[in-house]
């Protein structure tokens, strides 16, 4: 991303259209703002509007998991846009936390999560570089293959 290019120009260049704010599936809110930080609730992977079901290392491979994580990043950006109204106000993606629905012997959660991390870098440049955790878990709500949440600093 060039210094003069807006986040929205970059999204257009990448062929990305932001989705509307997702409705929470349980008793929580999509985001919380405190000071200059936005905590974006976990988003599960979706394909064609339905949970992207699978378990990495069992019936889903790393490359597919990475695609799911990229799709989640796009959904997270839609929620973030709803939270702040202008993605150009993002000062930094502070932290990404990724939960990967994993078979007991699957050890490539970090590679799956790269699908999200790489897109955030493409969209926000240096401000998209972040701290991160990627965990393998026994299950995710609705059988989804990946769930990701964000902490974002805004200007």
Domains of the chain: 7-154 (3.30.1330.40)
Counting every residue written for the chain, the total comes to 155
pLDDT of residue 2: 53
Q: What is the mean pLDDT of residues 144-155?
A: 98
Helix axes 62-84, 109-124, angle to 10 degrees: 40
pLDDT digits (tens, 9 = 90+) for 34-48: 999 999 999 999 999
Tell if the pTM clears 0.75, that is, is over it.
yes
> How confident is residue 124, by pLDDT bands cut at 50, 70 and 90?
very high
Token output for 121: 């870098």
């Amino acid at each position: 991303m060039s210094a003069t290019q807006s986040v929205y120009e970059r999204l257009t260049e990448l062929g990305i259209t932001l989705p509307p704010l997702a409705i929470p599936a349980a008793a929580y809110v999509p985001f919380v703002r405190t000071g200059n930080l936005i905590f974006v609730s976990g988003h599960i992977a979706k394909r064609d509007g339905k949970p992207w079901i699978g378990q990495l290392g069992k019936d889903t491979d790393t490359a597919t998991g990475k695609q799911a994580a990229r799709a989640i990043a796009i959904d997270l950006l839609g929620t973030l846009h709803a939270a702040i109204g202008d993605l150009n106000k993002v000062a930094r993606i502070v932290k990404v936390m990724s939960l990967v629905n994993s078979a007991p012997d699957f050890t490539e959660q970090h590679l799956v999560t790269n699908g999200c991390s790489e897109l955030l870098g493409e969209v926000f440049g240096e401000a998209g570089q972040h701290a991160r955790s990627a965990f393998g878990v026994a299950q995710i709500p609705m059988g989804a293959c990946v769930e990701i949440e964000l902490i974002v600093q805004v200007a």
